[in-house]
Amino acid sequence: MMNSGKRLLMRWVGWFFFANIILSIMIQASYLVIIPALSAVHGATIGNLSLAYFFLAVSYIAHATIINGVAALVVLFFAWLIPRKGFVFSLATLLGLAVLIAQVLDRFAYRLYHSHQFVVGVTILKSGALGEEIPLSTVEYAFFAFVIVAIIIIELLIARYVWRRLKHSTMMRRKTGIKVGIVLVSTVCISYVLMAFVVVVPPKYRFDDTDSHLLLKMARLVPYYQIVYNWLVPGSYSDHRVWKTATAQVSIQTDQTNNPLHYPLHPMRCSPPKKKPNILFLVFDTLRYDAMNPTVMPNMSRFAKKTVQFDDVYSGGNCTQPGVFSLFYGIPANYWQSTVDQKKGPVFIKQLQKAGYQTGIFASASLLFPQFNKNVFVDIKPLRTDTKGDTSVARDKRITKLFNQFVTKRNKSKPFFGFIFYDAIHNYCEGSAHEHMTPFEPAIAQCARFSLTAHTNPTPYTNRYHNAAYFLDQQAEKVIAKLKQQHLLKNTIVVVTADHGEQQNDQHMDYWSHASAYTPYQLHIPMLIYWPGMKPQRRDYFATNFDVVPTLMKKVLNCQNPLRDYTVGKSLFTQGGRPYFISGSYTDYAYVTPKQITRVYPGGDYTLNGPLGHHQYRAALDIPLLKKAGEQLTRYYR
């Protein structure tokens, strides 16, 4: 029989986490300021929209109940085993803090990236690369420290208040608690039953396509609703979803899978010449196409006059992971997980090694996140995965020095492949005011990205960004100067490019940074190729970074395989024949055409946007295009 002290303690746990449920609902409700444009959905009616809003309201309560309920059950278990007030209070407060802080951090990430990034953040934490991948200004560190301290104080006040009220209030009696519990559990049942009619029940009993689409769209506003739902409801997870129109349907991949790879499709047939050129990839993380101009990057602009300049090249990703992956593999980043799990390196690297190339990989940021050490560079041994330096500026200077040493000390009887990956532009908000303040002014002294809105003037941020690009332009010039000093420009192909771009409130749509949309601001990248003996020229037709590898495989390594054996790209020097391409991110991907962007989310939802990212009202799915493009996502599986 439970004594009165233990019973009181366990009642306290229940009411404490009920208060946390209310706080969670308040945090989740803040996502409503960026609610999807439901009226843009093809076929939406008042009835459809009413169901969607009802689902969202119920799901906010249900999801808050589940995540706090799990924490409460853990505390109740230990309260039953060890009914000591101090211990139970401490455990409950710590778990409550963890739940609330995770939600608050996700809210700020969603504000910047328009998607839930907490899982990505945990992965970065595990890799030990948090400071390199998510650099904050001093003001931002102070802000988040203040938020965490505020949450701690709130939790302690709630704990004390609930304990005092529990002993004296008639409102917190056992019967009241049971009624509250019934209401909360009912919201979970309603929310999960509604979602079941979207993803679980047999197709003929499901909601129509419009209702399903709207509910999935609303579920994206509830942090990790779909992930938790898949954990709790057997048979709900699927990495594909069927999309329909009035006349056709298509099965769409909604999540990355680890299927057995069949890449390349056939053994490679390459016969490189005896005298082979060196190859250097000079890559700037987060460099917009329009930033490579004579004002911001004067040295690279001068060098560009000696190169073939491709003016309309787009990346296979809006962030580093898919951007670098598509550059080296020449296939969509949807294959990322399979290549990591199966440790399958790119055909391009393997053929370079077979041709006798020595390799020098110089990355400023860690190669442990993204896990390039497990796919892109898995075949390169030994591999330097980290570069010493407290800041991106220090690490970028170091890799410039290391590459120049590599060039000097290399085995001159063998060709080399070099990869330099600069990071200061990506981390332009890093650190204190003395970084990236000149020559472009006014530049913001301390980034405060938590305060950005669609109405924020981007100029101070753009100038700080340009100052970082100006700094890296000087570093890149040292690399080119070293090649010239060593007389290597006569036999070295230099590819100057970026992994993705950066959006800075262009169109005043409240898109900042990258990894948040598939607009030209985030996908359009510079592409210069210095090719010894090739006449400088400009090419203004559309191409992608999928095209870099097939260009080099054909023209340098003399590979005879059909291109589709190992890439979805074409030669950069081939005009036309690219009606669409697939671009990826950390959590979703998109089919991109000149007129429409079809963005696919992990839960099976999608959005249809115009080329600049605006909603296309009442637009319909292009099923023939999705079928044709979708073949690229299965081609390299067995």
% the chain with pLDDT above 70: 99
On the question of pLDDT at 556 being above 70, the answer is yes
On the question of pLDDT at 170 being above 70, the answer is no
Between 237 and 426, name the one with better pLDDT. 426
562/501 same-domain check:
yes
Would you tell me the crossing angle of helices 46-81 and 4-29 to the nearest 10 degrees?
150
Q: Is residue 255 part of a domain?
A: no
Question: What number is the average pLDDT over the span 529-538?
Answer: 98
Report yes or no: 550 and 330 within 8 Å, Cβ to Cβ: yes
CA 232 to chain centre: 26
450/568 same-domain check:
yes
On the question of pLDDT at 231 being above 70, the answer is yes
DSSP assignment letter at 359: E
* β strands within 206-296, DSSP E: 240-244, 249-253, 278-284
For the record, the structure tokens of 498 come out as: 């970026």
On the question of pLDDT at 167 being above 80, the answer is no
Residue that is written with structure tokens 């800075």 in the block: 504
Domain extent at residue 447: 278-577
**Sorting pLDDT into bands at 50, 70 and 90, what band is 2?**
low
Between 435 and 554, name the one with better pLDDT. 554
303/195 same-domain check:
no
% the chain with pLDDT above 90: 81
**Sorting pLDDT into bands at 50, 70 and 90, what band is 166?**
confident
Q: Is residue 245 part of a domain?
A: no
62/164 same-domain check:
yes
On the question of pLDDT at 423 being above 90, the answer is yes
On the question of pLDDT at 435 being above 90, the answer is no
* CATH code of the domain in which 561 resides: 3.40.720.10
- pLDDT tens for residues 279-337? 999 999 999 999 999 999 999 999 999 999 999 999 999 999 999 999 999 999 999 99
- pLDDT tens for residues 55-95? 999 999 999 999 999 999 999 999 999 999 999 999 999 99
Average pLDDT, the chain: 94
Q: How many domains does the chain have?
A: 2
Question: What number is the average pLDDT over the span 138-147?
Answer: 94
pLDDT at residue 40 in the model = 81
Q: Is residue 416 part of a domain?
A: yes
Domain final position from 210, 237, 264 = 237
- pLDDT tens for residues 347-392? 999 999 999 999 999 999 999 999 999 999 999 999 999 999 999 9
420/510 same-domain check:
yes
233/283 same-domain check:
no
127/230 same-domain check:
yes
Of the ranges 118-122, 176-180, 373-377, which is most confident?
Answer: 373-377
**Sorting pLDDT into bands at 50, 70 and 90, what band is 201?**
confident
On the question of pLDDT at 520 being above 90, the answer is yes
- pLDDT tens for residues 603-634? 889 999 999 999 998 888 999 999 999 999 99
Alpha helices in 503-547 (DSSP H): 520-523
**Sorting pLDDT into bands at 50, 70 and 90, what band is 547?**
very high
Lowest pLDDT segment from 2-16, 507-521, 589-603: 2-16
Between 434 and 551, name the one with better pLDDT. 551
298/443 same-domain check:
yes
Distances (CA, A) of 165 to 15, 84, 544: 10, 19, 64
411/361 same-domain check:
yes
Cross-strand pairs, 283: 421, 497
pLDDT at residue 318 in the model = 98
Cα–Cα distance between 176 and 167 in angstroms, integer?
A: 14
Q: Is residue 257 part of a domain?
A: no
Cα–Cα distance between 129 and 248 in angstroms, integer?
A: 45
Residue that is written with structure tokens 């200077």 in the block: 397
On the question of pLDDT at 38 being above 90, the answer is no
pLDDT at residue 25 in the model = 97
Domain final position from 557, 577, 597 = 577
pLDDT at residue 171 in the model = 65
Q: Is residue 509 part of a domain?
A: yes
On the question of pLDDT at 1 being above 70, the answer is no
Domain final position from 176, 210, 237 = 237
Q: Is residue 594 part of a domain?
A: no
Cα–Cα distance between 568 and 584 in angstroms, integer?
A: 14
Between 106 and 303, name the one with better pLDDT. 303
Q: Write b or e for each residue in 591-609: b if 16 or more Cβ atoms lie within 10 A of its Cβ, otherwise e.
A: bbbeebbbbbbbbbbbbbb
- pLDDT tens for residues 461-493? 999 999 999 999 999 999 999 999 999 999 999
Q: Is residue 377 part of a domain?
A: yes
Distances (CA, A) of 614 to 123, 319, 403, 599: 31, 20, 42, 12
Residue that is written with structure tokens 């003016």 in the block: 311
Q: Is residue 98 part of a domain?
A: yes
